[in-house]
Amino acid sequence: MNDNNVLICGGSGLVGTKLAGLLRREGYKVMILSRRKNADQAEFYYWDPARDFINPDAILNANIIINVAGAGIADRKWSARRKAEIQNSRVQSTDLIYKKLQELKVRPDLFISASAVGFYGDRGDEVLEEHSSAGQGFLAETALKWERAAMRIHDLGVRTVVFRIGVVLAREGGALSKLAQPVRLYVGAPLGEGTQYVSWIHIDDLCRMFLMAIRNKRLSGIFNAVSPEPVTNGGLTTAIAEELERPLILPAVPEFALRLAMGEMAHVVLDSTRVSSERIQTAGFEFRYAKLPAALSDLLAG
């Protein structure tokens, strides 16, 4: 086996698809691990973390394993069942990779795990660094368990990098299309007070960060994956409106209305997380999209 075989667990989604494209262009052989039934076609392996199943060949044929699997946090209202799915899809999937590495007695050169800035919870304007404490609430608890599971792979002697990812801005989906759609239709408005911080990252920068983690063999541990300039929710909505040349004519959507409509899931849009990118920059990462207007003009154009 050459040392360029990458397995992306949960690689069929927004981040995984873009990352797979970048890595293939850079000469890596990329395999996707998926729960899809047609997954035994070339370049796909099948797993089902909920049933504790993983095709062992996926693990045996990879020297770099990246886990970006996880049920969408804003796809559906948070019932108890949905919350269990959100958490289990992250923690059990990581545990399953750990167990298989143990069982098959193999050690990849590198394991990269996604985590999320939800780790920090709702923190006002506090600047959050990797050593900052975990926050309160379901998202923070989930991220904490997820990272602990990833660090067990580190304890096997595998170089491990965890990215605490901010809101990923992309053309293909995710938060930006949900935010831009009402603005396009002249019904865009800040959410809640609009003063809560949003730590965002352009998807290309995120994928380049994963590539850096592969290439820079000294990189290890937890890194915030956010741009250097978090903005407020109001600032983000305004910047989208400016890029789309639409006025914002409606008042902010009141917090109580969001809580009523979204239930506990309102945390996704109301929590304030102002996250620092200093550590990854000190490690040598250079952002292509450090500023929001440049990112939006790239992603919302035409």
Ligand X SMILES: NC(=O)c1ccc[n+]([C@@H]2O[C@H](COP(=O)([O-])OP(=O)(O)OC[C@H]3O[C@@H](n4cnc5c(N)ncnc54)[C@H](OP(=O)(O)O)[C@@H]3O)[C@@H](O)[C@H]2O)c1
Instruction: Rule CB under 6 A: choose which of 5, 87, 93, 232 binds ligand X.
Output: 93
Closest CB 89 distance from ligand X, rounded Å: 3
135 interacts with ligand X by CB under 6 A: no
The least distance separating ligand X from the CB of residue 251, rounded to whole angstroms, comes to 27
* Segment contacting ligand X by CB under 6 A, of 34-42, 52-60, 257-265, 283-291: 34-42
To 10 degrees, the CA torsion angle through 242, 246, 249, 250?
-90
**CB environment 265-283: b (16+ within 10 A), e (fewer):** bbbbbbbbbbbbbeebeee
SS3 letters across the chain: CCCCEEEEECCCCHHHHHHHHHHHHCCCEEEEEECCCCCCCCCEEEEEHHHCEECHHHHHCCCEEEECCCCCCCCCCCCHHHHHHHHHHHHHHHHHHHHHHHHHCCCCCEEEEEEEHHHHCCCCCCEECCCCCCCCCHHHHHHHHHHHHHHHHHCCCCEEEEEEECEEECCCCEHHHHHHHHHHCCCCCCECCCCCEECEEEHHHHHHHHHHHHHCCCCCEEEEECCCCCEEHHHHHHHHHHHHCCCCCCCCECHHHHHHHHHHHHHHHHCCCEECCHHHHHCCCCCCCCCHHHHHHHHHCC
CB of residue 291 vs ligand X: minimum separation in angstroms?
A: 19
Among 59, 70, 123, 204, binds ligand X (CB under 6 A): 70
Using the contact rule CB under 6 A, the part of the chain among 30-38, 125-133, 214-222, 265-273 near ligand X is: 30-38
Query: Under the criterion CB under 6 A, does residue 7 sit at the interface with ligand X?
Result: no
Q: Which stretch binds ligand X (CB under 6 A): 63-71, 101-109, 259-267, 269-277?
A: 63-71
According to CB under 6 A, which one of 6, 7, 8, 13 is a site residue for ligand X? 13
d(CA 251, CA 189) in angstroms, rounded, equals 6
Counting contacts by CB under 6 A, is residue 145 touching ligand X? Answer: no
Count of residues touching ligand X (by CB under 6 A): 25
One of 5, 87, 89, 94 touching ligand X (CB under 6 A) = 89
Could you tell me the smallest distance in angstroms from the CB atom of residue 63 to ligand X? Answer: 21
Q: Shortest Cβ distance from residue 273 to ligand X (Å)?
A: 11
Selected from 23, 62, 140, 167, the binder of ligand X by CB under 6 A is 167
Closer Cβ to ligand X, 166 or 234, answer by number: 166
Residue 71 contacts ligand X per CB under 6 A: yes
The closest alpha carbon to 284, from 213, 227, 232, 231, belongs to 213
- Indicate which single residue of 6, 15, 162, 266 sits in contact with ligand X (rule: CB under 6 A): 15
- Residue ranges in 107-126 that form contacts with ligand X under rule CB under 6 A: 114, 116
Q: Report d(CA 298, CA 302) in Å as an integer.
A: 9
196-225 binders of ligand X (CB under 6 A): none
Interacting stretch for ligand X, rule CB under 6 A, among 94-102, 151-159, 162-170, 213-221? 162-170
Q: Of 107 and 177, which has the nearer Cβ to ligand X?
A: 177
Q: Which residues of the shown chain bind ligand X in the complex (CB under 6 A)?
A: 10, 12-16, 34-36, 49, 68-72, 85, 89, 93, 114, 116, 165, 167-168, 174-175
